[in-house]
Amino acid sequence: MLAAAPQLLDHPIDVIVRDLPWGFFLAVHIALFLVGAYFALRAFEGGQGLLGTGFALFGLAEISYMTYHVNITNFLFAHTISEVLDGVAFVLLFVAAVQNSLVTASSSSSSARTHKVPAGAER
The answer to the question of residue 14 being in a domain is no
- CB of 52 within 8 A of CB of 40? yes
pTM of the prediction? 0.72
The answer to the question of residue 42 being in a domain is yes
The answer to the question of residue 109 being in a domain is no
The answer to the question of residue 111 being in a domain is no
Which range of residues forms the domain containing residue 85? 21-102
The answer to the question of residue 113 being in a domain is no
105 pLDDT tier (thresholds 50, 70, 90)? low
- CB of 13 within 8 A of CB of 36? no
* Total of domains in the chain: 1
The answer to the question of residue 2 being in a domain is no
Residue 117 CA from chain centroid, whole number:
30
112 pLDDT tier (thresholds 50, 70, 90)? very low
The answer to the question of residue 45 being in a domain is yes
Q: What is the pLDDT of residue 100?
A: 86
